[in-house]
Amino acid sequence: MKTTKKLAVFASGTGSNFIAIQEAIEQGTLDATIALVVSDVPTSAVIEKAKKKGLKTFVFNPQSYSDKEAFETEIVEALSEAKVDWVILAGYMRLVGPTLLSAYEGKIVNIHPSLLPSFKGLDAIGQAFDAGVKITGVTIHFVDEGMDTGRIIAQEAVTVKNSSTRVALQKDIQAVEHRLYPETINYLLQQ
Ligand code: GRF
């Protein structure tokens, strides 16, 4: 029997990938539902967007907790209450700790705006631009305890045009992200 899987999307910022995933669900190209949107930034635009879509949110302020284990314990409770099957990181600007990793082993994925293992960490688009590479891209990978180190699931190259600016490159990369992430999640859910 086919069952529609439940996703939690974790994000700290704008939420354009969250919107791309939600729109793919609405358009029927991604068979899933977003059961929870999680953010560590109470004022983030992604939370506004999630509320507009009528989705359930879990917002927390890391500074109100003694450590990562304390807030991840609450996150895992919220995920389990919402019966979440997969955790989708989309601009969640934190390393995932052992509490969440062990609760969702093999079920946490991330999107990174470079061709890993190049340009790990913050501002991957700026790093690639400054390095003067002619090709960069997008990587979707499983999440482990490292920063952008988990097993790669999908990659797509993006050419850096000679006339490109940092802003234009970001736009080109995001256009790929918004198509590749929903497609890849759909593929993963069907395995
Ligand atoms: C994306 O570029 C993603 O690759 C990175 O964080 C950014 C999030 O952007 N991990 P948005 O909030 O989805 O617009």
Q: For residues 88 and 130, is the Cβ–Cβ distance under 8 A? A: no
Cα torsion angle, 76, 59, 36, 191, sign:
negative
Q: Is 133 exposed, middle or buried (0-12, 13-18, 19+ CB in 10 A)?
A: middle
User: Catalytic: 178?
Assistant: no
- Whether 82 has a pLDDT exceeding 80, the answer reads yes
Of the listed ranges 1-5, 45-49, 104-108, 127-131, the one predicted with least confidence: 1-5
Q: What are phi and psi of 189, to 5 degrees?
A: -70, -20
Which residues lie closer than 8 Å to 102 by C-beta, 6 or more apart? none
- Residue closest via CA to ligand 1's atom 14 equals 16
Distance 74 CA to ligand 1 centre (A): 24
| Per-residue model confidence as pLDDT tens digits over 138-173 | 999 999 999 999 999 999 999 999 888 999 999 999
pLDDT the model gives residue 163: 86
- Whether 31 has a pLDDT exceeding 90, the answer reads yes
Q: Which structure tokens are listed for 20?
A: 């791309």
Report whether residue 13 contacts ligand 1, using a CB cutoff of 6 Å.
Answer: yes
- Whether 3 has a pLDDT exceeding 90, the answer reads no
Report whether residue 47 contacts ligand 1, using a CB cutoff of 6 Å.
Answer: no
pLDDT the model gives residue 138: 98
- Residue closest via CA to ligand 1's atom 1 equals 91
Q: How far apart are the first and last CA of the chain?
A: 14
Mean pLDDT of 8-16: 97
- Model confidence band, residue 111 (pLDDT cutoffs 50, 70, 90): very high
Which residues lie closer than 8 Å to 4 by C-beta, 6 or more apart? 31, 32, 33
Strand partners, 158: 136
What are the domain boundaries of the chain?
Answer: 5-190
Mean pLDDT of 68-73: 98
What kind of architecture, by CATH, is found in domain 5-190?
3-Layer(aba) Sandwich (3.40)
- Model confidence band, residue 1 (pLDDT cutoffs 50, 70, 90): low
Ligand 1: which of 177, 179, 180, 184 to mutate, judged by most atoms within 8 Å of the beta carbon?
177
Q: Which structure tokens are listed for 15?
A: 């939420």
